[in-house]
Chains A and B, each alone.
Chain A
Amino acid sequence: MSGQVKELKVSPSSNGDSRGSWEEKDEFDQDHLGLTTKPKLPKPENAVTIAVSSRVLFRTEREQEVYLQKGVEEYLRYQIEHENEPFAPGPAFPFVKALEAVNTRLRELYPQSEELFDIVLVTYNHAHVGIRLINTINHHNLFIERFCMTGGSSPIGYLKAWHTNLYLSADADKVREALAEGIAAATMFMTENLTEVSESQLRVAFDGDAVLFSDESERIFKAHGLDKFFEHERDNEDTLLDHGPLKGFLEALGKLQKKFYAKGHRLDCPIRTFLVTARSAASSGIRALKTLRAWGLEIDEALFLAGAPKGPMLEKIRPHIYFDDQMFHVEGAAEMGTVAAHVPYGIAQKHNLKQNSNVGK
């Protein structure tokens, strides 16, 4: 398949030799394997690992329908029948492409470094769908060499094993589970009419409260209203906000950005980050900025909307992904063509449940 002649010999000690139990496979000569023509993959703990599910990387609505209507056996039969038809790109696709563009630039500047994005497909699909997924990855020329197809069991354990920095899935329950385990995660939805995004610069936008920061201020706002919120923020201006579920991911992005700055690429850095918050610049926003500064995190652009709708601003920014804890904003962003991901964290979720959003899986 790779055009290389491989030696089809098995060492007598390939199984259970004195050196180790199941782990002696760690030693190998890479030249004998299919990886010489492609860049070497980083160790998971050195890389910024992004785990994506098949339903957000690709569009699988038709297949989901088959699953829901006719059950798992028919669903798998359908998948195998259509094995040579690649899936269309899903909501996470542009984001993943942008990650690969950043990797290309990083490899140019730091050829030996393992500080790269590593994209792992983590799906609870059965391996019967594996060949179709691999065909699709090939078709779209994605650089994804690692995956976990768990055949129905929870992917959460694997997220930890891969040192996952960010998990994107269509399944809100799995996302909640991941968040509970301290892994940054968000639910993605398919949107039509997406605005075109950059192919050379990764642009990531974050909401502030309950995403980068904890939901403590949001609690005050929900319990006591806007005035109390302002008062609280003013009184606590010099107290740092607690961290939220996506702080770590912003941190990881910042680390990579610094690598570009170090080689004189501040102006044309292929990673750009945005804070898009309902806080206002003059008052409540100050606490957010002070917190970010104290954390040593630079955010490229901070947009304080003072309660104005986020959709139009996001349409101008054109991020590959926008993280928000409130479905109201996620839907608003999607309406205006931005790929928005829901972070089901904090006090806003009680409100979300009441709204009973039926956004497609």
Chain B
Amino acid sequence: MVSTIQNTDVKQKDADRAVVVAVTSRAVFESGADGDDVYGMGVAFPLLQALQRVNERLLEENPAESLLFDVVLITTDSQQQQQSSRIISSTRHYGLEVSRFCFSSEEDFVESLQKNNVQLFLSTDRNEVPQASQKGVLSALLDRQEAPSEQLRVMFCGDAVNRPDAGPMPASRQAAQSFSAQLGEMRQRFGMSDSPLSIVLMTSHGGRESCGGALRTLRSRGVNVDEAYCLAGAPLSPILSVVRPHFLLSDGFSGLED
């Protein structure tokens, strides 16, 4: 059973132009003590604030801007579903720019994503992410971050691991392409310095040709990358802890380097 509630506090976005990002409420809020009216801030809280800041800056540049992030809070946890009013009141309490609340079960949350035209799904749950991915929804796993940045930092992994047993993922790749193109367009609204959004490319295994190829491919889609890291086999986590992306997108990005 899927239900959607609009947040009347927030102006609804243009359905044709907005970039719909769904984040699980479990990622955004942390359950506090029972009896608290309001949830604590979860792992994805800084991310939501960063998305919001991008919107604010986009509207500063052009008050009629329609290419904005449209954030949907999706609740897949039946426990949290019972707390739906608390989710809504917490959202209002923090002034989060969430336009819709979706409530579904673990079985049909992907249906909910598709119904809501979600272009990017973010979750802390390791099972939900591949489930959505398999049905063609671009998805990424959220991890706890130390000192998350105010600037929205999105990382594309240019040479996602190719495993021989994998099945093809055309839908996901399509989703990845259109999302990256929209992100690229958003990025162009801002100058080189002081941008609320930074697009980061990382190639973890390939050498410089891999990275060069990915840069060219992204550029051909209208995505100008701000930062590029070519690791050529070096361990990821030391570099990732300096780059501090809010999330990584590798799903659907294999073959960027061709």
Which residues of A are at the interface with B, using a C-beta cutoff of 8 A?
A: 1-2, 6-18, 21-30, 32-35, 38, 40-41, 43-44, 72-73, 76, 126-128, 130-131, 134-135, 137-138, 144-153, 157-158, 160-162
B128 closest partner in A (C-beta): A16
Q: Which of A21, A29, A40 has the most CB of B within 10 A?
A: A21
Contacts of A41 on B, CB cut-off 8 Å? 207, 232-234
Q: Tell me whether B130 and A1 are in contact (CB under 8 A).
A: no
Determine the chain A residues whose CB is within 8 A of the CB of B33 once the complex forms.
Answer: none
- Which of chain A's residues have a CB closer than 8 A to the CB of B231? 146
Of A16, A146, A150, most buried by chain B (CB within 10 Å of CB) is A16
- Identity of the chain B residue whose Cβ is nearest the Cβ of A73 in the assembled complex: B192
Please tell me if the beta carbons of B205 and A126 are within 8 angstroms of each other in the complex.
Answer: no
B209 interfacial by beta-carbon distance below 8 Å: yes
In the complex, what residues of B have CB within 8 A of residue A160's CB?
238, 242
Q: Is the CB of B18 closer than 8 A to any CB of chain A?
A: no
Residues A12 and B205 in contact, CB atoms below 8 Å apart: no
Interface size on B, residues (CB 8 A): 69
Given contacts A9-B167, A127-B215, contact A22 B240 (CB under 8 A): yes
Residues of B within 8 A of A149 (CB): 227-229
Most A CB within 10 A of own CB, among B169, B205, B216, B251: B205
* Contact status of A28 and B130, CB under 8 A, knowing A14-B161, A35-B233, A157-B242: no
Contact assessment for A126 and B208 in the assembled complex, using a CB-CB cutoff below 8 Å:
no
**CB-nearest residue of chain A to B249:** A15
Give the distance in Å from the alpha carbon of A158 to the alpha carbon of B227 in the complex.
13
* Contact B159–A33 (Cβ < 8 Å): yes
B14 within 8 A of partner (CB): no
Residues of A within 8 A of B9 (CB): none
For residue B210, which residue of chain A has the nearest CB? A34
> How far does the alpha carbon of A23 sit from the alpha carbon of B235 in the complex, in Å?
9
Q: Are B143 and A145 in contact (CB under 8 A)?
A: no
Partner of A11, one of B165, B192, B224: B165
Closest to B233 in A: A41
| Chain A residue at minimum C-beta to C-beta distance from B134 | A12
Specify the chain A residue showing the minimal Cβ separation from B163: A11
Q: Note all chain A residues with C-beta closer than 8 A to B208.
A: 134, 137-138, 144-145, 147
Task: Indicate the member of A35, A138, A146, A162 with the most B CB atoms within 10 Å.
Answer: A146
Query: Closest residue to A15 on the B side, CB-wise?
Result: B251
- Jot down 22 A-B pairs with beta carbons below 8 A, ordered by A: A7-B162, A8-B258, A10-B168, A10-B250, A10-B251, A10-B252, A12-B130, A15-B129, A16-B139, A16-B140, A22-B141, A22-B236, A22-B237, A25-B157, A25-B161, A25-B205, A33-B205, A43-B234, A137-B208, A150-B227, A151-B200, A160-B238
Quote the shortest CB–CB distance from A33 to chain B (angstroms).
Answer: 5
10 more A-B contacts (CB under 8 A) besides A23-B237, A34-B207?
Answer: A1-B258, A7-B164, A9-B162, A9-B166, A15-B250, A21-B141, A22-B237, A34-B209, A34-B210, A130-B228
Chain A residues contacting B258 (CB-CB under 8 Å) are 1, 6, 8
CA distance A144 to B231 in the complex (A): 11
Tell me, in angstroms, the Cα distance from A72 to B127 when the chains sit together. 43
**Bound CA–CA A160/B208 (angstroms):** 21
Check A33–B129 contact: CB distance below 8 A: no
Q: Which of B210-253 touch A at CB < 8 Å?
A: 210-213, 215-216, 224-242, 248, 250-252
Q: How far apart are the CA atoms of A182 and B191 in the complex, in Å?
A: 35
Smallest distance from the beta carbon of B179 to chain A beta carbons, Å? Answer: 14
Roughly how many angstroms separate A110 CA and B94 CA in the complex, as a whole number?
60
Q: Contacts of B230 on A, CB cut-off 8 Å?
A: 145-148
Assembled-state Cα–Cα distance A6/B169 (Å)? 15
Q: Are B242 and A151 in contact (CB under 8 A)?
A: no
The one of B141, B207, B227, B228 in contact with A145, judged by C-beta atoms closer than 8 angstroms, is: B207
B115 at the interface (CB under 8 A from A): no
Q: What residue in chain A is nearest B239 (Cβ atoms)?
A: A161
* B3 at the binding interface (Cβ < 8 Å): no
Interface membership of B27, Cβ < 8 A = no
